[in-house]
Amino acid sequence: MSDLKTTFAGLTLKNPVIISSSGLTNSAVKNKKLEEAGAGAIVLKSLLEEQIAFEAAQMQNSVYYPEGGDYLVEALRGHKLSEYLRLIKESKESCRIPIIASINCCSDNEWTNFATEIEKAGADALEINILSLQTDELYEWGSFEQRHIDILKHVKQHINIPVIMKLGNNLTNPIALINQLCANGAAAVVLFNRFYQPDIDIDKVRQSAGQIFSNNSDLGNTLRWIGIASAAVRCIDYAASGGVHNEKDVIKVILAGASAVEICSAVYKGGNEVIKPMLNTLSKWMNDKGYEYISQFKGVLNTKDLRGVNTFERTQFLN
């Protein structure tokens, strides 16, 4: 019989299917149902720096005295953090699978204090998302990547639980950054975070929201970078995110070098029921191929094992 256990970011998971940070994971009740449906771990809905900053700015604009605005801002931050700590504690009480906290930040300000409280609340690991577009015409090359390293270093100085970095796909060289993240104590990386997708409504002549969910065509980019990175930087674990929608996709990303997958859109579209078929197909495939453990086939198709032209690094079609 195949054993679906895997190790990711120093955590032992009963299987490699992780539910990604989203509205799916914003309550202990939902998280318990996801566990019962077969999830191997859960990443809680993110604590958002931008959302806190936006609400804080509105508060400051609504009061006449600056000190009053500052008081309201601190109260808001404390309230948001308190709510999040309660979500961690309630999820840990309800679930036996690993509960991974998540913060979505774009600056290196107060996250060290938040991270300390998150660890005290019982989170098994912390996932950090640094997702933003670099649009300043005076942008200093490399400063975005350095921000990842600086935030990681400061957080690691204050907590002992594993830190996972979830990267966006707007990096010139993910491999160089992953190598530095590994050197500075990251336990794992997730490739990739999904940007908000904009669109334009030509009838109303205004901006609108584009496609919310990922689709299966996104998997190719995930496979490429998991395949390259897992061969180039071996001191860190990988999880795939983006484009994992059907039962075979889980197998593909593990063959490319991932230890786990983070799924979100697939669950939104198909419900919690999509998890079991993924696990059943993985188990059957392992039995058919003679694999007893995931470690036996993880990464066998990353760049180091490809012959001839490297299909993961190829960017143009060949005749």
DSSP 168: P
CA gap 9, 41 in Å, rounded: 12
111 and 93 Cβ atoms separated by less than 8 Å: no
Secondary structure (H, E, C), 31-87: HHHHHHCCCCEEECCCEEHHHHHHHHHHHHHCCCCHHHHHHHHHHHHHHHHHHHHHH
What pLDDT was estimated at residue 311?
61
Tens digit of each residue's pLDDT (9 = 90 or more) over 28-64: 999 999 999 999 999 999 986 655 555 555 555 555 4
Tens digit of each residue's pLDDT (9 = 90 or more) over 69-116: 555 556 557 677 899 999 999 999 999 999 999 998 766 666 677 889
All structural domains of the chain with their residue ranges: 6-305
Mean pLDDT, rounded, for 177-184: 97
CATH top-level class of 6-305: alpha beta
209 and 231 Cβ atoms separated by less than 8 Å: no
Structure tokens at 231: 């061969």
pLDDT bin (cut points 50, 70, 90) of residue 169 is confident
Cross-strand pairs, 40: none
Structure tokens at 296: 């036996």
Q: Is residue 263 over pLDDT 70?
A: yes
Determine the Cα angle at 122 with ends 31 and 236, to 5°. 85
Query: 140 or 290: which carries more pLDDT confidence?
Result: 290
Amino acid letter for position 73: V
Q: Is residue 309 over pLDDT 50?
A: no
H-type helices in the chain, by residue range? 28-36, 49-61, 66-94, 111-120, 143-156, 174-183, 219-232, 247-256, 265-270, 275-289
Least-confidence region, from 120-124, 225-229, 315-319: 315-319
State if pTM tops 0.75. yes
CA gap 84, 52 in Å, rounded: 13
CA gap 290, 134 in Å, rounded: 47
Other residues' Cβ atoms within 10 Å of the Cβ of residue 209: 10
Q: Is residue 178 over pLDDT 50?
A: yes
φ, ψ of residue 149 to 5 degrees: the values are: -65, -45
